[in-house]
Amino acid sequence: MKLGAKLWAQCLGVILLMSASATAAFGLQHNLRFVDQAGTPIADVVVRATYTATPPAIGGGPIELKSDADGRLTVSHPCALASGSCCSLVSPVSYQVIGKLGYQFNGSGSVGCGLGSSDFTFIGTGQEYPKLAVVSAANFRAPLASQMIVAAFGLNLATTTEIAANIPLPTTLANRRVLFRNLDGVETAAPLLFVSPNQINFLVPAQGVNRLPTIIVRDLNNQIVSVTFPTIELVAPGIFTANADGQGVPAAVIVRARADGSQAYEPVAQFDQTARRYVPVTLDLGVESDVIVLALFGTGWRTPPPATTVAVKIAGIECPVEYAGPQPTSEGLDQLNVRLPRALIGKGDVIVEVQFNSTKANSVQLKIK
């Protein structure tokens, strides 16, 4: 059931900020920094910014920002200095420190459209929770996507191992729950696939784009076991691979449709006893009347935004995409059907490149006769 190698967990502070207030009627941006009493940076602190635009087409908000590894983030006015009349077009940007799990804040401010910038430091104290490392279960990359299959890694996540046995998927396994908490404090339980002491696999509940939730692992006594603070996108494509490492030959099949109306499913991978790995099968595209479709399986493209362009290149050759969406029988699993053109004949070892708008999936490998 495991979908990848163990990642070492780190610790992330959960603090209670003591001071913080920033108000300025002028200044093009506010540079905020979050540190503890020893001056150590605090990452993943969320700030919500809003403004009123005239005309409304300019934008508004709210916009959610998150401090980086150095505890820094910048709240900027949306108009450039060169616009001259920016204050007549857009109101000052009001912001409020939302924080993260365990925080209490009074921090807020207002960014005008004048010259210069202001720096503010927020100092706090608190406790630390073990950090959960979360990635796509297909290619072991961040960010996550709505309704994606996730592999989460940490230490002492559970005391036993349990695999989901039924559909719909449970929200409790091995006496553990995974909860997605939004910025308003509302928690949603994630469907669970697998729970063990060092790894949990689950599905991301349906989320909006660019959301900044807190993921919490809790025991049945509601005690926190581990936390993390990911970004959720609408699309973050990852292709499953036969060796379960995000590389090499994909977890896929080809469908061969013949002129007589018959269809056959054929593998794209075979196990090499010497290498102890799956390697590509040499694919024969057959006679000219055969139609060959490659079915790739992955996760992270279930809810693409409208007008999403899906592009697939194999050996640099553009291939027609016939379907990109949910795999119909498995929760969280997505499918991409691609027709293999005869221009690929004789190409040998080839790279398959998949892209949703500007977002690329992990590249995989095939072999074509």
Q: What pLDDT sits at residue 7?
A: 26
* Final residue in a domain of this structure, among 90, 108, 128: 128
The pLDDT-based confidence of 350 (bands split at 50, 70, 90) is very high
* Final residue in a domain of this structure, among 107, 128, 149: 128
**Both 84 and 33 in a single domain?**
yes
Gap between the Cα atoms of 294 and 252, Å rounded = 7
Q: Please, what's the largest Cα pairwise distance for the chain?
A: 76
The answer to whether residue 109 sits within a structural domain is yes
**Both 114 and 139 in a single domain?**
no
Q: What pLDDT sits at residue 17?
A: 30
**Both 33 and 90 in a single domain?**
yes
Q: What pLDDT sits at residue 28?
A: 82
Q: What pLDDT sits at residue 9?
A: 25
- 171-179: long-range pairs with CB below 8 Å, 24+: 172/220, 175/219, 175/220, 176/200, 176/217, 176/218, 176/219, 176/220, 176/225, 177/217, 177/218, 177/219, 177/220, 178/152, 178/202, 178/215, 178/216, 178/217, 179/215, 179/216, 179/217, 179/218
**Both 282 and 323 in a single domain?**
yes
Cis ω before 143 (30° cut-off from 0):
yes
Residue 117: CATH number of its domain:
2.60.40.10
* Final residue in a domain of this structure, among 199, 233, 267: 233
The answer to whether residue 70 sits within a structural domain is yes
> Residue 234 class from Cβ within 10 Å (0-12 exposed, 13-18 middle, 19+ buried)?
buried
Asked if the model's pLDDT at residue 106 lies above 90, the reply is no
**Best-predicted range by mean pLDDT among 17-21, 102-106, 299-303?**
299-303
Position 290, amino acid: D
Instruction: Give every CB contact of residue 58 below 8 A, 6+ residues apart in sequence.
Output: 78, 89, 90
Domain range holding 39?
A: 14-128
Q: What percent of the chain shows pLDDT beyond 90?
A: 66
CB 279 within 8 A of CB 270: yes
Other C-beta atoms closer than 10 Å to the C-beta of 130 total: 18
Q: What pLDDT sits at residue 127?
A: 73
**Both 250 and 351 in a single domain?**
yes
**Both 119 and 198 in a single domain?**
no
Q: What is the pLDDT of residues 11-63, one digit of tens each?
A: 222 222 323 344 434 568 899 999 887 888 999 999 999 888 776 555 666 88
DSSP 3-state helix, strand, coil percentages of the chain (rounded to 5)? 5, 45, 50
Assign 280 to helix, strand or coil. strand
**Both 258 and 225 in a single domain?**
no
**Both 271 and 313 in a single domain?**
yes
**Both 23 and 111 in a single domain?**
yes
Summarize the confidence of residues 128-145 as an average pLDDT. Answer: 94
| Dihedral (Cα; 146, 151, 152, 155), 10-degree rounding | 170
Gap between the Cα atoms of 298 and 239, Å rounded = 4
Length of the chain in terms of residues written: 369
Position 179, amino acid: L
The pLDDT-based confidence of 341 (bands split at 50, 70, 90) is very high
Q: What pLDDT sits at residue 25?
A: 40
Asked if the model's pLDDT at residue 276 lies above 50, the reply is yes
Assign 107 to helix, strand or coil. coil
φ/ψ bin of 251: left (φ > 0), alpha (ψ from -120 to 50), beta (otherwise): beta
The answer to whether residue 2 sits within a structural domain is no
CB 254 within 8 A of CB 369: no
Asked if the model's pLDDT at residue 176 lies above 60, the reply is yes
**Both 65 and 111 in a single domain?**
yes
Instruction: Give every CB contact of residue 76 below 8 A, 6+ residues apart in sequence.
Output: 28, 29, 93, 111
Q: What pLDDT sits at residue 240?
A: 98
φ/ψ bin of 18: left (φ > 0), alpha (ψ from -120 to 50), beta (otherwise): alpha
Q: Give the total number of structural domains in the chain.
A: 3
Q: What is the pLDDT of the chain when averaged over all its residues?
A: 86
The side-by-side arrangement of strands in the sheet containing 176-181 is 187-189, 176-181, 214-219, 224-228
Residue with token string 């691609």: 338
The answer to whether residue 293 sits within a structural domain is yes
Greater pLDDT, 241 or 90: 241
**Both 251 and 316 in a single domain?**
yes
**Both 220 and 258 in a single domain?**
no
Assign 342 to helix, strand or coil. helix
Token digits of residue 105 = 């804040």
Asked if the model's pLDDT at residue 6 lies above 50, the reply is no
Gap between the Cα atoms of 266 and 209, Å rounded = 37
Residue 171: CATH number of its domain:
2.60.40
Q: What pLDDT sits at residue 19?
A: 34
Q: What pLDDT sits at residue 130?
A: 92
The answer to whether residue 3 sits within a structural domain is no
DSSP string covering 137-193, please?
TTT--S-EETT-EEEEE-SS--SS-EE--SSSPPS-BTTEEEEEE-TTS-EEEPPEE
The answer to whether residue 4 sits within a structural domain is no
Summarize the confidence of residues 200-227 as an average pLDDT. Answer: 90
The pLDDT-based confidence of 111 (bands split at 50, 70, 90) is confident
Summarize the confidence of residues 166-191 as an average pLDDT. Answer: 94
Model pTM score: 0.85
